[in-house]
A and B are shown apart, each in its own frame.
Chain A
Amino acid sequence: MIPNPDIPEAFAGPVSDRLQHLVHYGPVPETDATVISAEADGMRLSLVLDGENETVADARFTAPADAPEAAILDLLCAHAIGAPVREVIEHGLIFALQALRAPEAPSPVAGILTPRNAGACFKTPLRLIAAIRRETEARFGRHKDTNFFDRPYSETWSKLDKIGKRDLVLPHIDGFKAANGISDDAFELVEIDQYDRLFLVFTDEIPVWDKPVLLMKLERWLRKQTGERIELFTEVVKDANRIRRL
Chain B
Amino acid sequence: MTGMTDHVELILDGTKIAWHQDRIDAWERGERIAPITIDMSLTRACNFACHFCYAMLQENERKVIDKKAIFEFLEDCAEIGVKGISLVSDGESTISPVFVDACKYGHELGLSMAVGTNGFVLNRRKLEEVLPSLTYLRVNISAGERKRYAEIMGVKEHWFDRVAENIKAMGEIKREQNLDVTIGMQMVLMPEYHDQIMPLARLGKELRPDYLVIKHCSDDEDGSLGVDYSGYASLYDTLHEAEALSDDTYQVTVKWSKIDTEGTRSYQRCYGAPFMLQMSGSGLVAPCGMLFNERYKKFHIGNITEERFRDIFYSDRYWEVMNYLASPDFNAQKMCGSLCLQHKVNEFLDGYQKGDFELPEMKGEAPMHLNFI
Query: Which residues in A have some Cβ–Cβ distance to B below 8 Å?
Result: 89-91, 94-95, 98, 107-114, 116-117, 130, 133, 146-148, 150, 199, 208-209, 211-213, 215-216, 219, 223, 229, 231-241, 243-246
Q: Which of B31, B49, B268, B293 contacts A110 (CB 8 A)?
A: B31
Contact A133 B355, beta carbon cutoff 8 Å: yes
Report Cα–Cα, A150/B294, bound state, in Å. Answer: 26
Indicate whether B360 reaches chain A with its CB closer than 8 angstroms: no
Residue interface bits B316-342, CB-to-A below 8 A is 1, else 0 = 010111111011110101110000000
Contact A112 B49, beta carbon cutoff 8 Å: no
Question: How far apart are A216's CB and chain B's nearest CB, in angstroms?
Answer: 5
Q: Which of A116, A223, A246 contacts B56 (CB 8 A)?
A: A246
Q: Which of B48, B298, B354 contacts A90 (CB 8 A)?
A: B354
Report Cα–Cα, A91/B327, bound state, in Å. Answer: 10
**Extra contacts besides A91-B268, A215-B298 (10): CB < 8 Å:** A94-B269, A112-B30, A114-B30, A146-B266, A199-B295, A223-B329, A233-B295, A237-B293, A243-B48, A246-B225
Q: 28 A-B pairs, CB-CB below 8 angstroms?
A: A90-B354, A98-B328, A108-B30, A109-B30, A111-B27, A111-B274, A112-B27, A112-B323, A114-B28, A114-B30, A117-B30, A146-B266, A147-B268, A150-B268, A211-B297, A212-B297, A215-B297, A219-B298, A234-B294, A236-B294, A237-B59, A237-B60, A237-B294, A240-B59, A241-B46, A243-B47, A243-B154, A246-B225
In the complex formed, the residue of B with least CB distance to A146 is B266
Residue interface bits B257-280, CB-to-A below 8 A is 1, else 0 = 000000011101101001000000
Contact A239 B56, beta carbon cutoff 8 Å: yes
Residues of B within 8 A of A111 (CB): 26-27, 29-33, 274, 319, 322
Contact B55 A241, beta carbon cutoff 8 Å: yes
Report Cα–Cα, A150/B55, bound state, in Å. Answer: 30
Report Cα–Cα, A116/B349, bound state, in Å. Answer: 13
Report Cα–Cα, A109/B299, bound state, in Å. Answer: 21
Contact B333 A150, beta carbon cutoff 8 Å: yes
| Interface-central residue, B274, B299, B317, B355, by most chain A CB under 10 Å | B355
Report Cα–Cα, A95/B45, bound state, in Å. Answer: 42
Query: Which residues in B have some Cβ–Cβ distance to A below 8 Å?
Result: 26-33, 44-50, 53, 55-62, 154, 224-225, 264-266, 268-269, 271, 274, 293-302, 317, 319-324, 326-329, 331, 333-335, 353-355
| Interface-central residue, B47, B61, B323, by most chain A CB under 10 Å | B323
Report Cα–Cα, A116/B359, bound state, in Å. Answer: 15
Question: How far apart are B91's CB and chain A's nearest CB, in angstroms?
Answer: 9
Residues of B within 8 A of A199 (CB): 295
Residues of B within 8 A of A150 (CB): 268, 331, 333-334
Q: Which of A112, A133, A246 contacts B322 (CB 8 A)?
A: A112
| Interface-central residue, B62, B225, B321, B327, by most chain A CB under 10 Å | B327
Report Cα–Cα, A124/B335, bound state, in Å. Answer: 32
Report Cα–Cα, A219/B333, bound state, in Å. Answer: 19
Question: How far apart are A142's CB and chain B's nearest CB, in angstroms?
Answer: 9
Q: A111-B32, A235-B294, A235-B295 are in contact. Are A216 and B271 (CB under 8 A)?
A: no
In the complex formed, the residue of A with least CB distance to B59 is A237
Report Cα–Cα, A238/B294, bound state, in Å. Answer: 9
Contact B27 A237, beta carbon cutoff 8 Å: no
